[in-house]
Structure 1
Amino acid sequence: MTPSLIAFLTDYGLADGYVAACHGVIARIAPSARVLDVTHDVPAQDVRHGAVVLADTLPYLPPSVVLGVVDPGVGTERRAVAVVAGESVLVGPDNGLLLWAAAALGGASRAIELTAPEYRLVTGATTFDGRDVFAPAAAHLAAGLDVAALGPSVDVAALVRLPDPWLRVADETVEAEVHVVDRFGNVALAAGPAELTAAGLDEHARLRITVADRSSYVPLATSYAAVPERDPVLLIDSAGRLALAVNRGSAAADLRLQVGDHVTVSS
């Protein structure tokens, strides 16, 4: 069955008309399709953040046509692709944005380069592929088009992949990269309960957190409110990642952490 839901994510924001233009293109081509706006607040040109949001969100959606546009390479030779994963099809730039999400849906089984001119808008623009290339492709798929009609096949192994986040597990130690920081300032690491267990840290009530030359002991708990307000806590977040948080505050601000920083968790 062809998915009739289009899950739409961009870094466009809502201050301009970019999102509305894409909605309009979809409505013209596939007026019966439903569009679910995942978010349009991905930080500008932050492909990795968009990839994390898609990967965390899509497993909870029904089979969908996924329209993802975080595209700092628009207008260059980077490919436009549709990637089949499970019962969903992910449409967007071939810059790594789609593949973590495809993995979360069971893995990419097929990829198509979006080259067929009859499924594009001809506007003369080279800087708005969200409107002219990706939205039309997503809309035609939602209207029942076979993905193969959009262009030639691409070897899935040749698709652009983001580097895996850094992670190392040893006895009584987990060293992990900051994978994502959310709007609350919660700092999710590229590690989860399996890594805590492998390191022998899962039964500890408090764990030592080291960032650069700064260390402190933080409770390992199951909720933000398990500690007093403004105190830090270590927990497993809703995406299954080990995360640092501050009750009613921002761990990213208090601990001076950002994506890519390395954090050591030990006994």
Structure 2
Amino acid sequence: MPPDAPGGVPDTERAGAVTWTTMGGYGWISFTTDYGTFDGFAAACRGVIARIAPEVRINDITHHVPPADVPRGAAVLAQTAPHLPASVHLAVVDPGVGTQRRGIAVGTPGGVLVGPDNGLLIWAAEALGGIDTVVELANKEWLLGDVSRTFHGRDVFAPAAARLALGAPLSEAGPAVAPATLVRLPDPIVAVGDGWIESEVVTVDRFGNVQLAAGGGTLAGLGPDLVIGGIKARRAQTFAEAQPGEMIVYEDSAGRVAIAVNGGRAVVLLSVRPGDVVRVAER
């Protein structure tokens, strides 16, 4: 069975992000899913958007979130969305599709997020300036015909994203939702002590670099010579500072603590995956 298978005009600046007038809408929709690219699921959603809003451009963040991995999708979306043009951010990683979980749209100073109420959108909303307004996607006129129980990306979320990009107000999508009632993912584990950090693995990129939840500033409390899982490492700012095969700990482009191996894959050397807790300590 498949998974949930399948420009406006700048108004004001707030918290460093451009907000857009409702009348002007958005010129972009970003798109994040776990659909992959071997099937037609993502293309079907793109087609629905194109039929409703043919002039709106679609920016694919990724369709290779691991299946049903909501925290990974949330992390990727939150780390990417602030660098994109003001957009409607459509995100679908939805293992609860067809259940009582709500479909929502979240208004923020830096854009609108559309997707399931399972925690997927919250970190990105905070990265875009915080939650202003939330509505449930309950307007039946916005749905695509008879809604499939397993493909809300196509039948619920894509049509809503397209209409919002065209400038429809959030209030037309459905009733207001109290932000306090939204599903939130647990905060990742981060603990900092004298000469050590313990932190949850958030993501592993295609190069095998391991990103931790700890902010890069926590490295200031560590010396240059470190050990991780019994393996020697050292602090560095660039990969080139390490010898081939040497492990380094650094602040990555998202401002998080990360672990890499020059010419290798830290994820293999450490044998970790997202959700595991890693201890980085001084030698």
Provide the residue aligned with 1:126 in structure 2. Answer: 149
1:246 aligns with 2:269: no
How far residue 196 of structure 1 moved from its aligned partner, in angstroms, is: 2.5
Aligned-residue Cα RMSD (Å) equals: 1.1
1:56 aligns with 2:73: no
In structure 1, list runs of 5 or more residues that go unmatched.
none
How many pairs were matched up? Answer: 259
Deviations 1:89-147 (A, max 9, x none): 00000001000111111111110000000111113521100000000000001111011
1:255 aligns with 2:270: yes
Deviations 1:161-216 (A, max 9, x none): 0000001112222111111111111111111232223xx22xx222222x3xxx23
Equivalent of 1:217 in 219, 228, 232: 232
Give the AA of the match of 1:251.
A
Give the AA of the match of 1:246.
V
Give the Cα–Cα distance (whole angstroms) in 1 for the partners of residues 269 and 92 of structure 2: 32
Deviations 1:207-232 (A, max 9, x none): 222x3xxx233110011222122221
Provide the residue aligned with 1:236 in structure 2. Answer: 251
Deviations 1:8-53 (A, max 9, x none): 0111111111111111110111111011011111111111110010
1:91-102 correspondence runs (5 A): 91-102=114-125
Look up the SS of the partner of 1:191 in the other structure.
strand
131-140 or 22-31, which deviates more: 22-31
1:175-214 correspondence runs (5 A): 175-197=198-220, 200-201=221-222, 204-209=223-228, 211=229
Equivalent of 2:66 in 2, 25, 43: 43
Give the AA of the match of 1:94.
D
How far residue 155 of structure 1 moved from its aligned partner, in angstroms, is: 0.6
Provide the residue aligned with 1:103 in structure 2. Answer: 126
Give the AA of the match of 1:37.
D
Provide the residue aligned with 1:85 in structure 2. Answer: 108
Look up the SS of the partner of 1:190 in the other structure.
strand
Look up the SS of the partner of 2:226 in the other structure.
strand
Name segments (4+ residues, structure 1) moved above 4 Å. Answer: none
Give the Cα–Cα distance (whole angstroms) in 1 for the partners of residues 110 and 50 of structure 2: 22
Give the AA of the match of 1:149.
E
In structure 2, list runs of 5 or more residues that go unmatched.
1-20
1:18-29 correspondence runs (5 A): 18-29=41-52
Give the Cα–Cα distance (whole angstroms) in 2 for the partners of residues 250 and 124 of structure 1: 43
Provide the residue aligned with 1:33 in structure 2. Answer: 56
How far residue 266 of structure 1 moved from its aligned partner, in angstroms, is: 2.0
1:264 aligns with 2:283: no
How far residue 81 of structure 1 moved from its aligned partner, in angstroms, is: 0.1
TM, length-normalised to structure 2: 0.89
How far residue 87 of structure 1 moved from its aligned partner, in angstroms, is: 3.0
Is the contact between residue 216 and residue 250 of structure 2 (CA under 8 Å) also seen in structure 1?
no
Give the Cα–Cα distance (whole angstroms) in 2 for the partners of residues 139 and 105 of structure 1: 20
Is the contact between residue 147 and residue 156 of structure 2 (CA under 8 Å) also seen in structure 1?
no
Q: 1:110 to 1:124 in 2, by over 3 A?
A: closer
How far residue 265 of structure 1 moved from its aligned partner, in angstroms, is: 1.8
Look up the SS of the partner of 1:101 in the other structure.
helix
Give the Cα–Cα distance (whole angstroms) in 1 for the partners of residues 239 and 276 of structure 2: 22
Give the Cα–Cα distance (whole angstroms) in 1 for the partners of residues 192 and 50 of structure 2: 49
TM, length-normalised to structure 1: 0.94
Give the Cα–Cα distance (whole angstroms) in 2 for the partners of residues 130 and 262 of structure 1: 32
